[in-house]
Amino acid sequence: MFFAVTQIIAHRGASKFAPENTLAAFQLAEKMGADGIELDIHLTKDQIPVIIHDTDIKRTTNGRGFVQKFTYKELQQYDAGSWFSERFSDERILSLEEFFAWILPKDLFVNIEMKTKVIRYPNIEKIVFQLIREYGLENRVIISSFNPHTLYRMRELHPNIELALLSKVAFRNIQQYLADTGANVMHIKSRLLSSRMVRAMNHHDIPFRVYTVNRKSTFKQCVDKNAAGIITDRPDLFSMNETVHQN
């Protein structure tokens, strides 16, 4: 793996300017010059991977209840944009497949964060992997998770797909831990930038990316510490297309 420049990945899309994890946020991220898009995945009652951060739809739609209690079709009745601003009232919860169809012709990669830490969705790894394969996106995805078991299961499905272990805390024996999970990259919280773990990762040539970086000063720190990429709510701050702003 070789990262020539620091990758700019839009966190839940350009989520500072549009409702997180919606098509509007993804379109804006592309316009702002992001290299990739980070999004979060849960599974519906009818086993469809959908793009939403929480286990429950309450915070980001006008409905309430756990994602896993609804079919994909039932979820479509909810407005996933008005909580952010009335002008986004047409946004709906997207399926991962709809997102794949959108991203396919574009020059963007995708970081799929599998939200399997709280609710265990049986077979979610197989379902997501099958979709990736159907769309031929094996070389354009990074799968990340706070749950090492999810990464382990993903590694069993594909020997080379990029797998990132998410962590909010620093830990020792990072090489061993990555070897055990099958992950090849770390995605770490920005407050860990000065930790011993970052020094160890640089020492052992373990690539890492940093979330959530919304300040130029933190971005500079990331570059100084050799981060392969950052995950940001504001791709407009760091990409080449700095002229694209949202009013």
* Active-site residue set: 11, 53
> From the list 40, 125, 233, 236, which residue makes contact with Mg ion (rule: CB under 5 A)?
40
> From the list 6, 8, 11, 128, which residue makes contact with ligand G3P (rule: CB under 6 A)?
11
Q: In the window 205-224, what residues touch ligand G3P (CB under 6 A)?
A: 211
Q: Give me the least distance between CB of 59 and ligand G3P, in Å please.
A: 12
Among all chains, which residue has been given the structure tokens 């407005």? 79
Q: In the window 95-124, what residues touch ligand G3P (CB under 6 A)?
A: 113
- Site size toward ligand G3P (CB under 6 A) is 10
Decide whether 144 or 147 has the Cβ nearer to ligand G3P: 144
| Chain residue whose CB lies nearest ligand G3P | 211
Give CA–CA dist 68/91, Å, rounded. 20
Q: Give me the least distance between CB of 12 and Mg ion, in Å please.
A: 6
Tokens describing residue 145: 């998770």
Decide whether 168 or 203 has the Cβ nearer to Mg ion: 168
Please tell me whether residue 233 binds Mg ion under the rule CB under 5 A.
Answer: no
User: What angle, rounded to 10 degrees, do the helices at 23-31 and 96-103 form?
Assistant: 20
Amino acid at the residue 112: I
> From the list 144, 150, 181, 239, which residue makes contact with ligand G3P (rule: CB under 6 A)?
144
Please tell me whether residue 231 binds ligand G3P under the rule CB under 6 A.
Answer: yes
Q: Give the count of alpha carbons within 13 A of 127, CB side only.
A: 17
Decide whether 44 or 111 has the Cβ nearer to Mg ion: 111
Residue 146 has a CB neighbour count (10 Å cut-off) of 17
Please tell me whether residue 79 binds ligand G3P under the rule CB under 6 A.
Answer: no
Please tell me whether residue 40 binds ligand G3P under the rule CB under 6 A.
Answer: yes
Please tell me whether residue 113 binds Mg ion under the rule CB under 5 A.
Answer: yes
Decide whether 95 or 144 has the Cβ nearer to ligand G3P: 144
Q: Give me the least distance between CB of 247 and ligand G3P, in Å please.
A: 25
Decide whether 32 or 166 has the Cβ nearer to ligand G3P: 166
Q: Give me the least distance between CB of 243 and ligand G3P, in Å please.
A: 27
Q: Which H, E and C letters describe the chain, residue by residue? A: CCCCCCEEEEECCCCCCCCCCCHHHHHHHHHCCCCEEEEEEEECCCCCEEECCCCECCCCCCCCCEHHHCCHHHHCCCCCCCCCCHHHCCCCCCEHHHHHHHHCCCCCEEEEEECCCCCCCCCHHHHHHHHHHHCCCCCCEEEEECCHHHHHHHHHHCCCCEEEEEECCCCCCHHHHHHHHCCCEEEEEHHHCCCHHHHHHHHCCCCEEEECCCCHHHHHHHHHCCCCEEEECCHHHHCCCCCCCCC
Residues that bind ligand G3P (CB under 6 A): 11, 38, 40, 53, 113, 144, 166, 187, 211, 231
Residues that bind Mg ion (CB under 5 A): 40, 113
